[in-house]
């Protein structure tokens, strides 16, 4: 099948960092804030050995937990997956415009996917059980052919996978959380036990997260073909609709899950499953809504990029490095064999820790920008995907 029409200019080359479109990088930088707060809140939840109990020590904790369920949890990962699909669409358009044939581009995408899986596996082995990098590597390997599919076939695949994944994922998570995890947890978690538990959970998490990530990935590819984040001024009406509808839908769809989490509604399986399903499906709308809102903000910013905007964009340009740095922070701060801070935090305090960790990564990313350094993870992935690049001035990681 011939590739869909593109708007990429012939002979397009890797884009200089200074000339990159603002919206995709700004969206990645913001997405990392959402993920950091969700992970910190989750570690507080798991600090007592597992289960579904938040601290809920007062009105503030209850409000923060409800807010996280309505606006953050399962809202950041869909945006991340959509941005990943958008990035692969950019690779497809640019490399095709340079004259590379379909076999070369497909091999490139799958090589990138294999190395993402390697990075994700090592991330799981050494740091964090909730890895998402390997999930996107798996998607790149399995669904690289969709980059050549028509819009109709592309989105049909996405909706089909959403219909399956949105049933399996909440059912599996509800069953796990309703089980007696407290009794099954080891009496003492050591680094070795923790690593073995992470490796045991990795295939399951890879499958479950893969099931629910294909749909936003396909939407990201669809948006990338239209350069919606690179040329948002051409799509203002659609972006306004997506933002104005998607974010409120996500908030309302998260209300039942929030009521279960703050123990207003019972957590029996049928109700918890229904709340989890609605929470997941509405989360897609929230992720797309956040991306659209950030694109609109980028239009308003234009070329007026002050130090804050530059720092956030630098974070987005180094999103994988910053994501891995967050996992280092969780290991140091929250694990029972390190500082074990999660056990003594309230839900609200845990979210503040997540914000603080994100701010540290923003500062580090901006320092790398100022001295002209790429993110180490991005540089490694590019070398493994393309080979060692020629020495050129400030070429971008794609």
- At residue 353, the pLDDT reads 97
In a domain, 363, yes or no: yes
Q: Which of 144, 34, 167, 170 is nearest to 84 (CA)?
A: 144
- At residue 107, the pLDDT reads 93
In a domain, 148, yes or no: yes
- Say if CB 216 and CB 283 are below 8 A apart: no
In a domain, 395, yes or no: no
**What stretches in the chain show pLDDT beneath 50?**
1-16, 18, 50-51, 180-183, 392-398
Q: Which of 305, 303, 295, 286 is nearest to 234 (CA)?
A: 295
- Say if CB 37 and CB 351 are below 8 A apart: yes
In a domain, 398, yes or no: no
Question: Structure pTM?
Answer: 0.89
In a domain, 3, yes or no: no
In a domain, 246, yes or no: yes
In a domain, 149, yes or no: yes
- At residue 388, the pLDDT reads 67
In a domain, 7, yes or no: no
Structural domain count of the chain: 1
Distance CA 141, CA 377 (A): 19
- At residue 184, the pLDDT reads 52
Which domain covers residue 240, as residue numbers? 17-386
Structure tokens at 309: 């905007």
How far is C-alpha 248 from the chain's CA centre?
20
């Amino acid at each position: 099948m011939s590739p869909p029409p593109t708007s990429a200019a012939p002979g397009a080359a890797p884009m200089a960092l200074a000339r990159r479109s603002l919206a995709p990088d700004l969206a990645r930088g913001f997405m990392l804030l959402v993920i950091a707060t969700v992970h910190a809140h989750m570690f507080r939840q798991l600090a007592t050995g597992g289960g579904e109990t938040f601290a809920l020590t007062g009105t503030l904790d209850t409000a923060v937990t409800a807010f996280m369920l309505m606006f953050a949890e399962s809202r950041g990962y869909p945006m991340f997956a959509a941005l990943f699909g958008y990035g692969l669409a950019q690779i497809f358009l640019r490399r095709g415009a340079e004259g590379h044939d379909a076999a070369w581009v497909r091999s490139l995408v799958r090589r990138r996917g294999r190395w993402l899986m390697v990075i994700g596996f090592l991330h799981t082995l050494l740091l964090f059980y909730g890895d998402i990098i390997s999930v996107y590597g798996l998607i790149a390997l399995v669904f690289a052919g969709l980059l050549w599919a028509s819009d109709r076939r592309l989105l049909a695949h996405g909706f089909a996978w959403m219909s399956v994944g949105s049933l399996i994922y909440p059912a599996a998570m509800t069953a796990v959380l309703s089980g007696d995890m407290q009794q099954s947890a080891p009496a003492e978690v050591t680094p070795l036990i923790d690593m073995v538990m992470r490796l045991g959970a990795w295939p399951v998490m890879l499958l479950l997260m893969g099931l629910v990530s294909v749909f936003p990935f396909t939407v990201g590819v669809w948006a990338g073909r239209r350069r919606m984040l690179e040329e948002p001024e051409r799509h203002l009406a659609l972006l306004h609709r997506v933002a104005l509808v998607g974010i409120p839908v996500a908030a309302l769809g998260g209300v039942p899950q929030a009521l279960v989490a703050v123990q207003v509604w019972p957590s029996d399986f049928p109700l918890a499953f229904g709340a989890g399903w609605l929470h997941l499906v509405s989360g897609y709308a929230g992720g797309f809504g956040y991306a659209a809102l950030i694109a609109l903000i980028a239009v308003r910013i234009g070329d007026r990029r002050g130090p804050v905007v530059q720092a956030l964009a630098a974070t987005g340009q180094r999103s994988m490095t910053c994501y891995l740095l967050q996992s280092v922070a969780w290991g140091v701060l929250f694990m029972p064999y390190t500082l074990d801070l999660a056990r003594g935090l309230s839900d609200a305090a845990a979210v503040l820790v997540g914000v603080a960790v994100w701010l540290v990564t923003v500062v580090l990313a901006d320092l790398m920008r100022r001295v002209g350094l790429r993110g180490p993870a991005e540089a490694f992935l590019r070398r493994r995907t393309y080979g060692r690049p020629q020495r050129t001035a400030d070429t971008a990681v794609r």
